Amino acid sequence: MIRGMIFNIQRFSIHDGPGIRTAVFMKGCPLRCEWCHNPEGQRNRLELSFILHKCVGCGRCIEVCPAGAHAVKPNASAFEGEQPFTHTLDRNKCIVCGKCAEACAYGALSVAGKLYTPEEVIAEVLRDMPFYKNSGGGVTFTGGEPFAQHEFLLEMLKLSKSEGLHVCIETSLFAPTDMLLEAAAYTDLFLADYKESNDDLHKKFTGVSNKTIIDNFRAIDAAGAKIELRCPLIPDRNDREEHYRGIADLANSLSNVVEITLEPYHPLGTSKCENFGYDCKYDRREFMDKADAEKAAEFIRSLTNTKVRVQ
Ligand code: SF4
Ligand code: SF4
């Protein structure tokens, strides 16, 4: 029986395709984008999140941890307003059994990742069928990179279509072309990322070349798949005219791009990196200025007839 690793099933989503949708967040991704806002989606394994500021130092996690990974000590030199204790988590010892997350009554600990069968996921998605029907919504498979669990994804796609759901896949398109074409038969709209036009910079920012991605844009476009071009705008990385021209050129070279969506940077991923114990390569704490994103949109509109929207 196929089972796959999901880290969130988000109901009533309005930013992951048309209408009201349920977004299914799948674990595992071959890219390592510096600005990733879902770092818990990168690795296909269970991961423990620890939000230090929610901790009250009760010590319940210490009592239940079989690995001795937690330590709470009083901190007599804490300033007013600071926690009067230090809490350290040794991730090298942690076996991600989840016992501390169950024991913590303050929401400081949680485990990202749960195994599901395709049927279990779709049963969850179908709970909101009346909302999809009224709003033109449906289900969106996102992540992480959904194609990193392609067999599991394909089963969910088939089930979704057999239930009459509108289906979107949010993807980097960094996947074998045959997998994408197989999935296209069950997909109404690809929400496909285009992160950087300059290949050297694409490698630097994401860890992989954009060549496969561009080839895959052409392959799914030739197969008639509908595409929404999703372009993260990241200050001091890809917020350049050269890249904006690249976005317009790509859209103009394809036949089935229904929209270009610009996604101005938001800093949610930086705190998530800390919670999951990862180094944050792009540590900007401020949102991108919406006016800068609108300027980028205007510039791209001057180069293409495709609709351009700022999310
Ligand atoms: S159980 Fe929760 S609140 Fe208590 S010490 Fe552990 S993390 Fe902190
Ligand atoms: S997940 Fe398990 S092993 Fe890891 S810190 Fe919590 S209780 Fe300990």
Fold classification of 47-112 is Alpha-Beta Plaits (3.30.70)
Could you report the per-residue pLDDT of 83-95, keeping only the tens digit for each?
889 999 999 999 9
Question: Which pLDDT does position 160 carry in this prediction?
Answer: 98
The string of pLDDT tens digits covering residues 155-175 is 999 999 999 999 999 999 999
pLDDT of residue 78: 81
Q: Which atom of ligand 1 is nearest to the CA of 109?
A: 7
Distance of alpha carbon 287 from alpha carbon 265, whole angstroms: 6
Which band of pLDDT confidence, cut at 50, 70 and 90, is reported for residue 82? confident
Determine the Cα–Cα distance for residues 77 and 310; give it in Å rounded to an integer: 47
Q: Is the CB of 48 under 6 A from ligand 2?
A: yes
Listed in sequence order, the residues at least 6 apart from 55 whose beta carbon sits closer than 8 Å to its beta carbon are 83, 87, 104, 106, 108
How many Å lie between the centroid of ligand 1 and the Cα of residue 84?
13
Name the token pair of 226.
């509908």
- What is the structure's pLDDT at 217? 98
> What CATH number was assigned to the domain covering residues 4-27+117-310?
3.20.20.70
The whole-model pTM stands at 0.94
Predicted pLDDT at 281? 87
Tell me the C-alpha distance between 28 and 39, whole Å: 10
Please check whether residue 176 is in contact with residue 216, taking contact to mean a CB–CB distance below 8 angstroms: no
Consecutive H or E run containing 132: helix 129-135
Per-domain residue ranges for the chain? 4-27+117-310, 47-112
Give the pLDDT band of residue 268 (cuts 50, 70, 90): confident
CA 298 – ligand 2 centroid, Å:
50
Q: Where are the beta strands (DSSP E) in the chain?
A: 4-13, 21-26, 47-50, 70-74, 85-89, 109-112, 114-116, 138-143, 167-171, 189-193, 227-233, 257-264, 308-310
Percent of the chain with pLDDT over 70: 100
